Structure 1
Amino acid sequence: MSVNAKHLATFILGAAAGVAAHKYLQSEEGEKLLEDLKTKANNLKSEAEGTIDKVPEYFEELKAKGADTLKSNFPDAEAFFKDLYEKFVGGKGTAAEGTEVTPNPDPIS
């Protein structure tokens, strides 16, 4: 791969931008900017860690509210889903004699 003038100019401009950024960050304003960024990053990190601890509780609450809402707005939904489940799972064949049949789980609890 040959190095042409466009590549060389891009490298020089990038190096110049790096030097300018370094000079700015060494100034008083740059140090203040870095401290502000560090503070904001630490605040976001602690907020994210707190949120991670709350996620399981949130999904349990969401599951319970969703099931309650479904049962209250569509009272026949549970029976419908049980029948539908039986059609797909129960109708695939019969169990051989002597084998244990596991009960079907309740789809909405």
Structure 2
Amino acid sequence: MGINSKHLATFILGAAAGVAAHKYLQTEEGEKLLEDLKTKANSLKAEAEGAFDKAPEYFEELKTKGSETLKGNFPDVETFLKDLYEKFVGNKSTGSTTTETTPIPDPIS
């Protein structure tokens, strides 16, 4: 694959943009821009780390509240899901005569 005029022009324009950005960042205004970007990046990093630390608590609360809501609105759901799970597990353990295998879903916890 050879270098054609489009590749050469793209390289020259990219190099020129890099030189211009370097010159701009050497000015007082450019240094101020870099400091602002560093401050914002550190702020976002701290926020992301805080959210990561709180995630397990959030999902545990979501699981608990979701379970309570489901049981409150559908009181027989736990029995229904257990029976449904036993039906799927029971089909495999009884040794059916067909050669097809039915995938067993993971239990809902």
TM category (shorter chain) comes to: 0.7 to 0.9
Aligned to 2:11: 11
Aligned to 2:64: 64
Aligned to 2:23: 23
Q: Output the CA distance in 2 between the equivalents of 1:90 and 1:6.
A: 67
Q: What RMSD over aligned residues (CA atoms) do the two structures have, in Å?
A: 1.9
Paired positions, count: 98
Q: Which runs of 5+ in 2 are unaligned?
A: 95-106
Q: Could you say which structure has the greater relative contact order, defined with CA pairs below 8 angstroms and 6 or more residues apart?
A: 1
TM-score in terms of structure 1 length = 0.80
TM-score in terms of structure 2 length = 0.80
Q: 1:19 to 1:83 in 2, by over 3 A?
A: same
Aligned to 2:84: 84
Amino acid at match of 1:33: L
Q: Output the CA distance in 1 between the equivalents of 2:76 and 2:2.
A: 73
Aligned to 1:2: 2
What is the CA-CA distance between 1:44 and the residue it aligns to?
Answer: 0.6
Amino acid at match of 1:2: G
Q: Secondary structure at the match of 1:3?
A: coil
Aligned to 1:40: 40
Q: Which runs of 5+ in 1 are unaligned?
A: 95-105
Amino acid at match of 1:10: T
